[in-house]
Structure 1
Amino acid sequence: MSTHRPAALQGSLFDQADEPRLGPPAGLRRTHLGSGAWIDVLPGWLSGSDALFEHLAAEVPWRAERRTMYDQVVDVPRLLAYYREDDPLPHPVLAEARDALSAHYADELGEPFATAGLCYYRDGRDSVAWHGDRIGRGAREDTMVAILSVGAARDLLLRPAGGGPVVRRPLGHGDLIVMGGSCQRTWEHSVPKSTRAAGPRISIQFRPRGVN
């Protein structure tokens, strides 16, 4: 079992709301990446994000995983939780967020967001390597993955599959990013390790049924 302890969250001076609240998604701004891929970004979609971070950090049944890599069994460098389509989410505002995203993208996506995966990056040592969500339908179909971030900002990097120029988006404190079109097939994304002092961050990833 990992003895890695989470760093303390330094709250945002600009987000002092006691209760988490969503803003309208109308402020989403789209960037076309090429090859049919795009991202929509909305900074500060969720106010009261620090309060939500503290609730999730304390109440979610986080699990530490180990996996085999290069003939060694190593710790996965983040904590994980997963909520299936019919599972109650760990805070009502997350169900509101999933429903709001489903309504906003109904015409474009053609189906609702269904599942929620959570990642807890405890400090700059935690990370996720370059990948696309290609298990399931994302390997062959255009789809969307929406990520809501609470806690300290960490860089989300995107690049064309196989390498190329990197797009960098710092995400935290209630920011939203939606990766759409062919993004999971033709682009990759990662959260790299950071040598800078990095506070903890939790990301909530909303996906349609059959996309992982």
Structure 2
Amino acid sequence: MSTPLQGSLLDGFGEVGLGALAGVQRTELGDGAWVDVLPGWLTGADELFERLANGVPWRADRRAMYDRMVDVPRLLCFYDETRELPDPVLAEARDALSAYYFEELGEAFTTAGLCYYRDGNDSVAWHGDTFGRGATTDTMVAIVSVGAARALQLRPRGGGASVRYPLGHGDLIVMGGSCQRTWEHAVPKTKRPVGPRISIQFRPRNVR
């Protein structure tokens, strides 16, 4: 059973909306990779969490690992460019990100992948988004987090020190440049009692 969401005192369950992107702070990671971070970009994030948790057609996937099938440790839903997003504010966020990063990215964000981390047992292992063009070219993946904060960790491919970003309650992180090829990211399991979190990953066409 998941731990109930404890709302942020700074966010509450108020009106859902977006702030200005001008406040993003960029960190150069090396090898052409960078991340932009903007805490609390989305206001009313706890309200949006409830709308998505109850309104998205979540699915539980299974995958082959070694010689057996295992449960994917999170719930999933993917919206390609032909599907209407499950909440109007997600379309607003996608369009705002597309406009802000268009000169640097050269194209719009078109898809949205949603992950529902129900508690500390849900996770995603180390990986890069290298299915499609992310394997060979620079691209961007923009993630908006609602619900309780969970740690998103990044580390260089091939080893090295990791960096950690606790993301939740409307925080934004954008991984850009060579990040998907030269770095990996993960949301590790935790034994600490944590509430549920939903991440929304906006990507350009043919990046997964």
Answer whether TM exceeds 0.5 for this pair.
yes
Of residues 154, 173, 186, the one that matches 1:158 is: 154
- AA of the residue aligned to 1:159: R
**How far apart are the structure 2 equivalents of 1:77 and 1:31?**
30
Q: How far does the alpha carbon of each residue in 1:38-60 deviate from its partner, in whole angstroms, 9 at most, with x for none?
A: 00000000010000000000000
Q: Indicate yes or no: 2:1 matched with 1:13.
A: no
**How far apart are the structure 2 equivalents of 1:210 and 1:111?**
12
Residue pairs, 1:1-212, within 5 angstroms? 5-212=1-208
Shift of 1:17: 4.5
**How far apart are the structure 1 equivalents of 2:44 and 2:114?**
18
Shift of 1:16: 1.8
Shift of 1:19: 2.0
Specify the SS of the correspondent of 1:96.
helix
Specify the SS of the correspondent of 1:113.
coil
Q: How far does the alpha carbon of each residue in 1:168-207 deviate from its partner, in whole angstroms, 9 at most, with x for none?
A: 0000000000000000000000000001011100000000
Q: How far does the alpha carbon of each residue in 1:123-176 deviate from its partner, in whole angstroms, 9 at most, with x for none?
A: 000000000000000000000000000000000000001221000000000000
Specify the SS of the correspondent of 1:165.
coil
Alignment RMSD (CA, Å) = 0.7
Specify the SS of the correspondent of 2:193.
coil
- AA of the residue aligned to 2:17: R
**How far apart are the structure 1 equivalents of 2:113 and 2:81?**
11
Pairs aligned (count)? 208
Unaligned runs of 5+ residues in structure 1 are: none
Specify the SS of the correspondent of 1:155.
strand
Specify the SS of the correspondent of 1:87.
coil
Which 4+ stretches in 1 moved above 3 angstroms?
A: none
**How far apart are the structure 2 equivalents of 1:11 and 1:86?**
33
- AA of the residue aligned to 2:154: L
**How far apart are the structure 2 equivalents of 1:14 and 1:139?**
39
**How far apart are the structure 2 equivalents of 1:93 and 1:202?**
14
Unaligned runs of 5+ residues in structure 2 are: none
Specify the SS of the correspondent of 2:99.
helix
**How far apart are the structure 1 equivalents of 2:8 and 2:159?**
34
Q: Could you tell me the TM-score, scaled by structure 2's length?
A: 0.99
